[in-house]
Structure 1
């Protein structure tokens, strides 16, 4: 493997009734561009009594981006946002100095079985914006730039790539692209992306030089130069990345900051119930002992 590439395997984690595969952070690579955390949700089948329910929990210093292939999630937060996120939609909550939220299967979908599959990624905020006011953006699937390139379907979920711009820009140079191959195809990324890039294999497999990367794995390249991938027929790949932030970012549970002291402060604030709350919700996820 070339020195500028890393191969990462999903590590399974249990979120109550739901399993996720964690791809980032990784021991040898803590961020890709401004992306600090990537969770693969599912694929799973939810049924009565076995729903997606993440109780009230806090964030600081980051934005959470939710993108689904199947299923629905109802997002509620402490600034009053309520939004059901459907397949192909983009939900983007920016925590800034502090926000809490819940993520659940919508009430109207709790009497049926439903396939659930998607990703949630965290994007670190630039240092000067870490304490900004919280906000929530929602972009429906119909607004996401989508185009064909040979036998590939590409969707620009966020940022700028392939000469196009998404409605969701974030707060630093980044990109997230959803690519699906109907037939075996080669994609040349030279001059199409800027910054570090991660290839997250959702379905099928890709080949890069002499390497085969399969579903459940992520290939990280520190540069987009001379980057060309071959997608097998039926493969689905997410591209993440962008310009790295100039300062290192630290993670403590659900908090991200350039300052370890700020992380400790957020931890104590959550323990002391000093964060804002989601209206009408009295649930509370305590910070795990290991933090």
Structure 2
């Protein structure tokens, strides 16, 4: 890349088959631990489950982060140790703030699993500011109808979190955060808002960024400054960004600025000291 290039790096996914579902991990990986406050991005699917099959993630713990679940297709039933029971559907936002500790499961309703069905979406983790890492856990559900939708020079956008293009999302924020999806027809261009750090994930299609072509399921990390994207074909992208919050350590489902806090969380889960999910006594054991 030239010295003036805004492209910092392009990340290809690491793929795994988990329970019959293809999962693509973009980061964290060696050489890329964050994009702004974001510390984790997985794409789930797309997958078509046969009757009797589906997503079935048993209760497991988190600390020091906020999880964001965003679906393109299908439905997930979220349950947590706060007593929340919430189905998430395409376009909805589930923001689960772990803080000092929360436990949740991700399954599907019987009405969903008894028939053939699709599932496709993103799982993301946000680091919390150090002052909020041990906050009380919380859960927010924002319906798809409440997410701002608008056009920018003909490009269709959904502003999921943060502020951009004169609009603001109602999703609560704990630090400067940007997250939106855009749908570009072939040949359309989109200038990105300036944030400290930005990444563009190509869900489908193909983008031209400066002198480089970025294909589906790759993520381009961009430096601050004006960057214009151009779609080579009909293209669906997700843009992530915001303020970097400093070094975070990650171990299993735990994120913290303190290694000692993570060690304590591991011991607490192993000893059964986390709160339970009401009505669900299953759990994922601590990986050793």
Displacement of 1:150 in angstroms is 3.1
CA RMSD of aligned residues (A): 1.3
Query: C-alpha deviations, 1:116-150, integer Å up to 9, x for none?
Result: 11001000000000000000001111000001223
Displacement of 1:50 in angstroms is 2.1
Contact 1:99-1:134 within 8 A present in 2 as well: yes
Q: How does 1:178-193 map to 2 (within 5 A)?
A: 178-189=181-192, 192-193=193-194
* Counterparts of 1:169 and 1:182, CA distance in 2: 31
Map of 1:91 onto structure 2: 94
Runs of 4+ residues deviating >4 angstroms? none
Contact 1:151-1:183 within 8 A present in 2 as well: no
Normalising by structure 1, report the TM-score: 0.95
* Counterparts of 2:59 and 2:16, CA distance in 1: 19
SS in 1 for 2:162: strand
* Counterparts of 2:165 and 2:264, CA distance in 1: 41
Map of 1:199 onto structure 2: 200
Map of 1:288 onto structure 2: 287
* Counterparts of 1:139 and 1:2, CA distance in 2: 42
* Counterparts of 2:53 and 2:232, CA distance in 1: 34
Map of 2:244 onto structure 1: 244
* Counterparts of 1:232 and 1:155, CA distance in 2: 21
CA 1:2/1:24 → structure 2, altered by over 3 Å: closer, same or farther?
farther
* Counterparts of 1:242 and 1:86, CA distance in 2: 26
Displacement of 1:193 in angstroms is 3.4
Displacement of 1:274 in angstroms is 0.9
Map of 1:48 onto structure 2: 51
SS in 2 for 1:76: strand
Map of 2:232 onto structure 1: 232
Displacement of 1:19 in angstroms is 2.4
Normalising by structure 2, report the TM-score: 0.96
* Counterparts of 1:84 and 1:21, CA distance in 2: 23
Displacement of 1:14 in angstroms is 3.4
Displacement of 1:49 in angstroms is 2.8
Greater shift in the superposed pair: 1-10 or 249-258: 1-10
Structure 2: stretches of 5+ with no match in the other structure:
none
Displacement of 1:232 in angstroms is 2.7
Query: C-alpha deviations, 1:178-202, integer Å up to 9, x for none?
Result: 101134211112xx23220000010
Map of 2:136 onto structure 1: 133
Displacement of 1:286 in angstroms is 1.2
Displacement of 1:2 in angstroms is 4.6
Q: How does 1:1-291 map to 2 (within 5 A)?
A: 1-2=1-2, 5-189=8-192, 192-223=193-224, 225-245=225-245, 247-289=246-288
